[in-house]
Amino acid sequence: MNEPLNTGEQLPVKIENKFSVDDMKAFFYLMNAKPDTSVQLLKETKKITHADIRDLNERVQRKLQNHQLVGQIASINLHFDKGKILDYGSWAEYERENWKTINQTTEAISIEWDIQIKLPRYENPQRHTIKVRIGNSFTPKDVMELMFQSDNPSEIKESMSAGIIKVDFIDQVIASEIIERIVNWYDGLVKVPRPAGFQKRLIKHKRHIVGITNTFFPVLLLAIYHYYFIAFCSWGTDLTNTSLANIQLALIIFISIYFMGRIFASIISNWIKSKIDSYKYHPEFNLTKGDQNAFEEYGTTNSVITKDIVQKLIISVIAMLITFGLREGINYLLN
């Protein structure tokens, strides 16, 4: 029998090391695993200028100076109308941009700080990311598609919010302090003015205005018909003249006028709805040449729309009064 050879090799010895939960989190984060995330939604719409964006960056930098910062890079992403997107890989590129040459209006801006911080209880620097999104470039169609495709309710809330702060972190204290500082910055911004006066009432009661127009305009047309019918048609007041032919004729006239009223009511209500929907809202951003033009158009366009609606309303009331008063004039001339 052959005896086993002794090569002198030693079997590996099992070494046990104790790792804390924070150590494991840091390790997996470095291996591109999903870190812990803290999110703060921003609800109110605020005015944003370049000075505000620089102020935000300065506040973040002052906060980071309180820690042992190893390295960082800031990137800025801007969404404009007509699908244009500008992505700046560093803060210096953002500062070098000539904003007067951009004619598009700004819909949203996203800022991300990717930082490496040396924490006392870790041997290696730990990565933290700070993401701030102001404005909303999502269309109602995009939100509906997200509602059907996503199983995460938080994604839907984020897409519908006026802004969001998201921090991926290893150290909870740093994340909370940064979010608090950004929230304080946002709370100090000027609110975007909301519609007021006549425009506010039209927007608020648009559905009721359209519904009333569709319902009562055919009735108004029938009332005008009846008003003239009893004045100039003698058989309309003769209760004995109730032959089948006259009843059929009255029903035909009644139905015809009613459906004519429905057609005209649909045209009028669609015009009212399109006018109310064409109201422009106060621009949220003042960054580009296009934003400045949008602000000038905002006041001018809304004034023209309100003036047009008021003029048409006055003309309609005058036309109604003339219509009801015209019968008395005709009666006077005939008699």
- DSSP class per residue in 281-330: PPPSEE-SHHHHHHHHHHHHHHHHHHHHHHHHHHHHHHHHHHHHHHHHHH
Taking CA atoms, 115 is separated from 60, 77, 123, 299, in Å, by 11, 17, 16, 42
List the structure tokens of 257: 């006028």
Q: How far apart are CA 70 and CA 91, in angstroms?
A: 17
Q: Which residues pair with 135 in a beta bridge?
A: 108
What φ, ψ does residue 79 adopt, rounded to 5°?
-105, 130
The b/e string for 176-191 (b: 16+ C-beta within 10 A; e otherwise) is eebbebbeebbeebee
The per-residue pLDDT for 15 is 37
To which H or E segment does residue 274 belong?
helix 244-277
Most distant CA atoms of the chain, gap in Å? 144
Phi/psi zone of residue 10: left (φ > 0), alpha (ψ -120 to 50 degrees), beta?
Answer: beta
Residues 136 and 162: beta-carbon distance below 8 Å = yes
- What does each of the 335 residues of the chain score in pLDDT, given as a tens digit? 444 444 444 444 343 455 566 665 655 555 544 567 888 898 888 999 999 999 999 999 998 888 888 888 899 999 998 888 999 998 999 999 999 999 999 999 999 999 888 887 777 778 888 999 998 755 555 555 555 555 565 666 766 778 899 998 877 888 888 999 999 999 999 999 888 888 889 989 999 999 999 988 888 888 888 777 766 666 555 656 666 777 777 788 888 888 998 999 999 999 999 999 999 888 899 999 999 999 888 888 888 999 999 999 999 889 888 887 777 777 777 66
Q: How far apart are CA 113 and CA 109, in angstroms?
A: 14
Q: How far apart are CA 209 and CA 59, in angstroms?
A: 48
What φ, ψ does residue 283 adopt, rounded to 5°?
-60, 140
Q: Is this model's pTM higher than 0.75 or not?
A: no
Q: How far apart are CA 269 and CA 261, in angstroms?
A: 12
**Residue written as tokens 């008021």?**
310
Q: Is 168 helix (H, G, I), strand (E, B) or coil?
A: strand
Distance of CA 104 to the CA centre of its chain: 18
Q: How far apart are CA 79 and CA 134, in angstroms?
A: 10
Neighbours of 43 (CB within 10 A): 8
**DSSP characters for 8-65?**
---PPPP------HHHHHHHHHHTT---EEEEEEE-S-B-EEHHHHHHHHHHHHHHHT
CB half-sphere exposure, 95, CA atoms < 13 A: 7
Q: How far apart are CA 214 and CA 49, in angstroms?
A: 44
CB half-sphere exposure, 315, CA atoms < 13 A: 6
